Structure 1
Amino acid sequence: MRDNDAPLLLDVSRLIWRRWTGTRPTGIDRICLAWLDHYAAQAQAVVIHRCGKAILPQSVSQTLFRILQRPERSVKDATQFRRDIVCLALRRGLHLRDHLDGRGRLWLNPGHTGLDAAGIADWCDKRDLRPVHLIHDLIPITHPQFCRDGEQERHRRRMLAALATGCGVVANSAHTLETLAEFAHTENVQVPPAIIAWPGTPHLPIINPQPQERATFVVLGTIEGRKNHRLLLAVWQGLLDAIGTDADPSHLPQLVIVGRRGWQADDIFAMLDNHDFRGLVSEAGPLDDAGLAKVLASARALLFPSLAEGFGIPLTEALAVGVPVIASDLPVFREIGQGVPELLPPTDHAAWTEAILDYAKPASMRRAAQLARINGFQTPNWGDHFAQIDNFLTELGA
């Protein structure tokens, strides 16, 4: 069938779902978009949804890819996306049914979405698919306390499906691959052939830092329990407690929180909504690249006190533009940070307070030392990422 001849199959289920709901792209979404940009020209779309699973014809796939690749800057863009998807489904509805064969081709799945669907392994066999799964993390399994109810079992099914169906696995870090191997051992299953390919780093606009009246620190990411905003709010509350209610806090550093509100963080939301941090803590919400670049440009450091991560794009993003990072001492941060960031135990309130106050000083030696280390940082890039994956796909017989 001429409309079923693309060399590769590319899953876009997550991208459709996220764009449909109008959700601002997260780190995983950016990775899915990068895979779309790289592989769209040589791929057909695979879509997994509540009503079923399907390989789309090449002509329909290319139309869908173009819709997904359009930038989304406003609510109007999200509305237009939904309208275009509905029109595509109405015009080409017959082609959205599950009738095309995979013919032994590689199915690239960069988003986890749909792997917990019933019958996914049988469908791969029926449609003669050879999946290659990108694994981002196993946090719902290793740290279920930070995830929504039921997510642990759903993610367990996803990972079991990835291991059972995959002819190859791409891990976003050595830490993720090690965690996957430990999970496989626990479940008494084998890990398919696997490689490690660090995701590329988003290119932020270069903005010259503007003089600030007081030192500013930034924390970037969805506000959720495992991101450990709780520690930072406790640090800033401690700074206020130390000077007393009558003293002027204008000499103290500020904290800017960038990111949307998520889950498992009701106590944090309550503090942000009801507690008086006397102007030291501000919530900026999600920002586009230009807004984030502006905030980072004037920061003394990015703060990243997370309790669990599979990778950590904010860390590489900040270092790539020359902004120091104070982060949790996690295995993955030791891996991707290349010895550059200042790493601290994520529960050591005193150590974080000391580091923040030190980095706030104009003549901070610790900050100057990290700025010197940044010169040797090798920024993860998409060219290297896809060179590794393309070689891997060739080895798998793409």
Structure 2
Amino acid sequence: MHGAGTKTAITTARDFPAIIDITRLTSRVGRGPYTGVDRVELAYLEWCLATDPDLFGLAKLSDGFVLLDRGGLSAFHQKLTGQVVWGKRDLRAVVGLKTPAPRGAAESDLRRLALRKFSDIPAAFRNFVPKGCRYLNIGHSNLSERVLAGFARADIAPVVFLHDVIPVEFPQFQRAGTAEAFSKKLVAMKEHAHCIITNSQDSLAKARAALDGRDRGMHFAHLGIDVPDNIMDVSRLNRPYFVTLGTIEPRKNHALLLDVWQELEDHLSEEIMPDLYIIGQRGWENVDVITKLEVLKDHPRIHEHNTMSDADMWPLVAGSHGLLFPSHAEGFGLPSLEAAALNVPVVCGDLAIHRELLGDYPVYANVNDRYLWQKTIIEQAEKRLEDLRDACAKNTPHIPTWDEHFVRVNGAVMGST
């Protein structure tokens, strides 16, 4: 849900040589559990490594770009997933005081693994890769005029995964300058991307609108869902509890849940008051919620976990009375589908993406109606866990797989000529 730890099983063919951008994964080294975007980029890296055509990796480091071959990418993946430890920081990383030590170690290893180093993406880049090679940008790092135009000039077709257009749809939930910077990325994509993949039909429609009606080379493919097979589906408490997952940022609407839990204290006795587990790193532009979390840090029924491991997180979700997902906007909403794969109830806002992926599975509640959320949570808490699971099992939506995703992606890339 929020971090690495579940092996992605991929057998789908890849019928084109590729250069995959691993800049975002490199930047995440040492920064805690992965976000949804990180996990998608990791899934693409594992797909590329599991398939036969020629493969290269690209990373933008503090001193320029490095190009890796398949062997270098495989070594990077082993270090990224903890199978092999990172090496020592080189002189460049040591003197780069602004580079955190874990990322410095990762960049040092990438420099040692590099096939070539570049200060830019020159037209001569085509000389190092086979004809028909595609550049895969999954994590939005290097999604710029400079990089996309550079690959286009080198006759290497850029393929971009566009997760969502939330920064321009909802600028009020972004850090200062984010919407403007994202608008520039959209312009670069419109001008130079050969193929654009989105994660849903909803995201595809919004992407077309944001790209001024572009239709050429636009496709969608639902993301795959990874759920461990051996989760212990047991409650850790003698009372009901609920879980919410995601970065603690304004768009995720944690404020609603904190308000609801404080009001529940006025309506429920201590014995039947449910617990709330908030799992996710603290984000940005969210002073009011962070302040409230600090005030409530000793609250006996509200528990914040910023670095919870997958090993602890999965059983906690599986044993809960529900996943609460009151986001104002979502590009895909991985946690809701992952909860559904476990037959865990979902309470969420009535967003088009939820309707597309989950159908009638969740309880939909207006994210501006605090009373409705309070009422729904009480109703869910009063039900037996077994009854909730049985009801969910009868209404489970289709849970997409990574193989299904990559079949569509491979077809889209090969069909975009």
Query: Which interval holds the TM-score relative to the shorter structure?
Result: 0.7 to 0.9
Residue 240 of structure 2 corresponds to residue 215 of structure 1: yes
1:32 maps to 41
Partner residue, 1:382: 402
Q: CA deviation at 1:390?
A: 1.5
Report matched runs for 1:168-317 at 5 Å.
168-185=195-212, 190-204=214-228, 205-210=230-235, 212-242=237-267, 248-275=269-296, 278-317=299-338
**Partner residue of 1:15 out of 2, 14, 25:** 25
Are 1:125 and 2:147 an aligned pair? no
CA contact (8 A) 1:8 1:106 kept: yes
Judging changes above 3 Å, is the alpha-carbon distance between structure 1 residues 137 and 125 closer, same or farther for their aligned structure 2 residues? Answer: same
- Where structure 2 has 5 or more consecutive residues not aligned to the other structure, the ranges are 1-15, 89-99
**Are the structure 2 counterparts of residues 160 and 267 from structure 1 closer, same or farther at C-alpha, using a change threshold of 3 Å?**
same
Whether the 8 Å CA contact 2:343–2:393 is kept in 1: the answer is: no
Counting matched residue pairs gives 380
Matching of residue 46 in structure 1 with residue 58 in structure 2: yes
**Which residue of structure 2 lines up, in the alignment, with residue 109 of structure 1?**
137
**Displacement of 1:211:** 6.6
One-letter amino acid matched to 2:377? I
For the 8 Å contact 1:206–1:321, the answer to whether it is kept is no
- Mapped to 2, the partners of 1:209 and 1:61 lie a distance apart of 39
Match of 1:3?
none
8 Å CA contact 1:222–1:262 kept in 2: the answer is yes
Assess if the C-alpha contact under 8 Å between 2:68 and 2:113 holds in 1.
no
Whether contact under 8 Å (1:212, 1:298) holds in the other structure is no
Task: State whether residues 141 and 156 of structure 1, in contact with CA within 8 Å, keep that contact through their aligned partners in structure 2.
Answer: yes
Superposition TM-score, scaled by structure 1 size: 0.86
Q: 1:108 and 1:86 mapped to 2: Cα distance?
A: 23
Cα distance, 1:299–1:66 mapped onto 2, change above 3 Å? closer
C-alpha offsets along residues 240-261 of structure 1, whole Å, 9 cap, x if unaligned? 2346xxxx52321111111111
- SS of the residue 1:107 aligns to: strand
Cα RMSD (Å): 2.9
Give 1:313 deviation, angstroms.
Answer: 0.4
CA–CA separation in structure 1 for the residues paired with 2:85 and 2:60: 26
Structure 2 residue 376 is the aligned partner of structure 1 residue 348: no
Choose which of 99, 105, 116 in structure 2 pairs with 1:83.
105
Deviation at 1:360, TM superposition (A): 0.4
Name the SS of the counterpart of 2:303 in structure 1.
strand
CA offsets, 1:75-103, max 9 Å, x none?
x9x96774353144157585455553254
Q: TM-score, normalised by structure 2?
A: 0.82
Post-superposition Cα deviations, 1:104-134, rounded to whole Å, max 9, x if no partner, equal 4211111111113x52343123322201111
d(CA) in 1 for partners of 2:247, 2:297? 22
Bigger relative contact order, structure 1 or 2, given CA contacts below 8 A and separation 6+? 2
Q: Is the 8 A contact 1:89 1:96 kept in 2?
A: no
Shift of 1:10: 1.0
Find the aligned partners of 1:251 and 1:330 in 2 and give their Cα distance.
31
Once the two structures are superposed, residues 301-354 of structure 1 have per-residue CA deviations (whole angstroms, 9 ceiling, x without a partner) of: 000000000000000111111111001111101111132111111111111111
- Structure 1: gaps spanning 5 or more residues: 1-5
Q: 1:199-243: CA deviations, max 9, x gaps?
A: 111223421313732110111111111100100111111112346
State whether residues 132 and 166 of structure 1, in contact with CA within 8 Å, keep that contact through their aligned partners in structure 2: yes
Indicate if the aligned counterparts of 2:78 and 2:84 stay in contact, CA closer than 8 A.
no
